[in-house]
Structure 1
Amino acid sequence: MTGAAPLVQPTGLRAWLLSPEPASRWQARLGRLYLGWRTFTKNPLAVFGLGIVLLLLLVALFAGFLAPYSPVAGGDLRTLRLLPPSAEHWFGTDDQARDIYSRVIYGSRITLWVVLLVSVIATPIGLLVGTVAGYVGGWVDTVLMRLTDIFLAFPRLVLALAFVAALGPGIENAIIAIAITSWPPYARIARAETLMIRNSDFIAAVKLQGASTPRIIMGHVVPLCISSLIVRVTLDMAGIILTAAGLGFLGLGAQPPMPEWGAMVATGRNYLIDQWWVAAMPGLAIFVVSLGFNLLGDGLRDVLDPKAAK
């Protein structure tokens, strides 16, 4: 009679990370990161999305080495204009005899720059508005949430168009307009999280110790809301990319000759029937990067959402 196979106990670094009794906060934090990574890697689509995002970062970082031609200088219009994809020009050339592959490569920098700046601007605003409204309550909550509702009442692209029309075309104004229209969902999420934890025992204990309201919000409420916001911000990055591309398509974002993907699609629409690659290549880049951020956001939600089933 054979007995059950013995359980294999982790050894070495893995055992140290999975220790049920960590010796320090540093060890406990590393253990949580390791468990989160294991959960994340169980989702192959999330890993694929992470690969796309990392590829975008590498392409943007090494664009000067990867692009064989200048993204703004064109060639001979008589011989190099609107050439199809070939070994010399992988994605073909556009109406100004510029290499589309090089423009797509450099366009990744603009896309990444827009995503990062919008996230850096909009996330703190939404986090501050939501936590203050949820913790303070009363008329402060009413005023802040009604202001949030006003922004949520308009589609993001329409509202961004209104702000860009007021500020003027340009990539900087487009970033500001997108950031102004992106914070309300973050405020809603932060408020919902704050309402669940503001009456917790540890918040009451902090109050008894004499902590002020700003200290409680910044030191105890905000950190607990960050994980949910990270998931939402990651999922919203695809929408940010599409909004920026939409503004560029309409001529209100990055201005020529900047190699912005939306503006490249707008140029290519005039040649969509016969020279499809002019619009298809930057459009494909928008699709792939947006898909990558969506898949990454789904994976992060499995790891960071405390209400998700483990």
Structure 2
Amino acid sequence: MSVLSREWLLDPSPKSRGQARAGQIYLGFVRLFRNRLALTGLIVVLALVVIAIFAPLFATHDPVAQVLQDRLQPPLSPGHILGTDEFGRDIWSRLVYGSRVTLYIVLLVTLTAPVIGLIIGTVSGYFGGWTDTVLMRITDIFLAFPRLILALAFVAALGPGVENAVLAIALTAWPPYARVARAETLSIRSTDYIAAVRLQGASSGRILFSHVAPMCLPSVIVRVTLDMAGIILTAAGLGFLGLGAQPPLPEWGLMISSGRKFLFEQWWVATMPGLAIFIVSLGFNLLGDGLRDVLDPRSSGK
């Protein structure tokens, strides 16, 4: 980056809103890249995305093709870097294609649960009164049940499958976002600039979606990133119990379930997908911690 560009980004008196936002984004990236753990998490997440997109290039075998004469081959055996499962399917290739299923679930839940929670939380916190009471009591009902148990109940009612698992996880994941958005809204609605916008004649809908919701987004984004590990574990748990992805789909939780009976003798069948879940979950947690430091306005002076 040239000196002039850096000076323009770090100008203490920006000439436009775009310049101010560009400077904030630049400083955020600087703080993020200075955090080694957050940078490690970002690398893990980016690796997951790249592997999922270019799965045919990384996979060495057909993930569902059964080669019974090669069943239960150990890691580093010829042609199978991570070994094979009980049907002779290459574990590395199944992990690679399984990253697509994991990313698919994470993206769909991310596009639904936080949006629902953000809307409910901002509406509840802004209007207050009976609206707040009703919405927060509904939220409390969902929070009273463990997420996995509630997801199991929804999947049992909807039927097994990836789409139903995504819907069940989304229906159980929104309450924490609603709580975060409500707390932020309660501190924002009484500020001077909201009062000024209200005096200018702006409607409640415009105030909510143009002024309140954007102020709640940083906290919600951090919560989403930190919740990614929980989403992955819940999806893997549903797959492990046979209520998520169905065979022969290469889903990591389903792979652990099918390999648990070989755990003591052919340990790699269940261990490899377990390590994949661990590494990806850890990556999202590290990235979430880094984003929390970047997006927290109280840390802007650090």
TM over 0.5: yes
The 2-side partners of 1:294 and 1:284 are apart by 15
The 2-side partners of 1:308 and 1:298 are apart by 13
The one-letter code sitting in structure 1 at the alignment partner of 2:278 is F
SS in 2 for 1:193: helix
Superposed CA RMSD in Å reads 1.1
For 2:216, the equivalent position in structure 1 comes to: 225
SS in 2 for 1:83: coil
For 2:157, the equivalent position in structure 1 comes to: 166
Structure 1 position 285 matched with structure 2 position 298: no
More helix per residue: 2
Tell me the CA shift for residue 63 of structure 1.
0.2
For 1:84, the equivalent position in structure 2 comes to: 74
The 2-side partners of 1:27 and 1:199 are apart by 28
Q: How does 1:26-105 map to 2 (within 5 A)?
A: 26-75=18-67, 77=68, 79-86=69-76, 87-105=78-96
The 2-side partners of 1:170 and 1:252 are apart by 6
The 1-side partners of 2:205 and 2:25 are apart by 29
For 1:140, the equivalent position in structure 2 comes to: 131
The 2-side partners of 1:15 and 1:306 are apart by 22
Report sequence identity in percent: 67
Match of 2:291 among 273, 288, 300: 300
For 2:174, the equivalent position in structure 1 comes to: 183
Tell me the CA shift for residue 11 of structure 1.
2.8
Q: Which runs of 5+ in 2 are unaligned?
A: none
Tell me the CA shift for residue 306 of structure 1.
2.2
For 1:120, the equivalent position in structure 2 comes to: 111
Match of 2:11 among 19, 34, 46: 19
The one-letter code sitting in structure 1 at the alignment partner of 2:10 is L
Instruction: Please tell me whether Structure 1 or Structure 2 has the larger radius of gyration of its CA atoms.
Output: 1
Q: Which runs of 5+ in 1 are unaligned?
A: 1-9
Tell me the CA shift for residue 308 of structure 1.
4.1
The 2-side partners of 1:135 and 1:25 are apart by 26
Please give the TM-score of this superposition, normalised by the length of structure 1: 0.95
The one-letter code sitting in structure 2 at the alignment partner of 1:66 is F
The 2-side partners of 1:192 and 1:306 are apart by 16
Please give the TM-score of this superposition, normalised by the length of structure 2: 0.97
The 1-side partners of 2:48 and 2:176 are apart by 26
Q: Which moved further from structure 2: 203-212 or 235-244?
A: 203-212
For 1:243, the equivalent position in structure 2 comes to: 234
The 2-side partners of 1:21 and 1:214 are apart by 32
SS in 1 for 2:174: helix
Number of residue pairs matched?
299
The 1-side partners of 2:89 and 2:252 are apart by 14
The 1-side partners of 2:257 and 2:173 are apart by 24
Tell me the CA shift for residue 212 of structure 1.
1.1
Q: Which moved further from structure 2: 111-120 or 86-95?
A: 86-95
The one-letter code sitting in structure 1 at the alignment partner of 2:70 is L
Call closer, same or farther: CA 1:223–1:118 in 2, change over 3 Å: same
The 1-side partners of 2:244 and 2:103 are apart by 14
For 2:203, the equivalent position in structure 1 comes to: 212
